[in-house]
Amino acid sequence: EHLRVCSQGYTCCSAEMEDAITHRSKADLERLMEESSSALRTVFTTKHRKFDEFFLELLDNSEKSLNQMFVRTYGNLFMQNSEIFEDLFSELRRYYTGGNVNLEEMLGDFWARLLEKMFQLLNSQFTFTDEYLECVSKYTDQLKPFGDTPRKLKVQITRALAAARTFVQGLMVGREVANRVAKVNVSPGCSKALTRMLYCPYCGG
């Protein structure tokens, strides 16, 4: 008989038996890969979900805490201009979830907008054109109206957000790799090699 896997010498296998054990070898390997990767997928999925929930909750709590503090301090004045801070946290969330956000530029825009708004509020007896306010915001770095706070916060926020995003993306990649491993196609050559390794020794074929 023409055997494709077993030895062409003495063997107890027939072509039908050879086909059967070859298919079984492939099925066994696929089952083992599915079982071994299942636990890994669960770990990555669970870690990703927990960290994602934790970090988004951290951002939510930070925003709420900031709002409460400013409402107590500035009252309606803050509430009427709170969209500046709402936009800030919205952009932070978008960056964390993988959005195309340049943190340095975004934070620079935040401080510029805040300066414009504060300049208007502190000089409410005057009316300023958009061009004038834009000119004021351009000199934020030179005037340093907020002291060294913008630089310090930029360093802290960038480090924290970049590390968090990298970590959560790494968990997502790990999960995808585990998924692909579980669904890998076993080639005919691999099936034959498995058959020789696992079943041929039984009859010495």
Q: What is the pLDDT of residues 127-156, one digit of tens each?
A: 888 888 888 778 777 778 888 998 999 999
Of residues 138 and 161, more confidence is placed in 161
Residue type, 189: G
Q: Is residue 114 part of a domain?
A: yes
User: Is 2 in contact with 143 (CB distance < 8 Å)?
Assistant: no
Q: Is residue 25 part of a domain?
A: no
pLDDT, tens digit (0-9, with 9 covering 90-100), for 5-31? 666 666 667 777 778 878 888 888 888
User: Is 101 in contact with 158 (CB distance < 8 Å)?
Assistant: no
Report the pLDDT value the prediction gives residue 93, as an integer from 0 to 100: 96
Global pTM reads 0.75
Please compute the mean of the pLDDT values over residues 176-196 and round it to a whole number: 79
* Domain extent at residue 114: 83-195
Lowest mean pLDDT among 93-97, 101-105, 140-144: 140-144
Q: Is residue 38 part of a domain?
A: no
Q: Is residue 108 part of a domain?
A: yes
Rounded to the nearest angstrom, the gap between the alpha carbon of residue 70 and the centroid of all alpha carbons in its chain is 31
State how many domains the chain has.
1
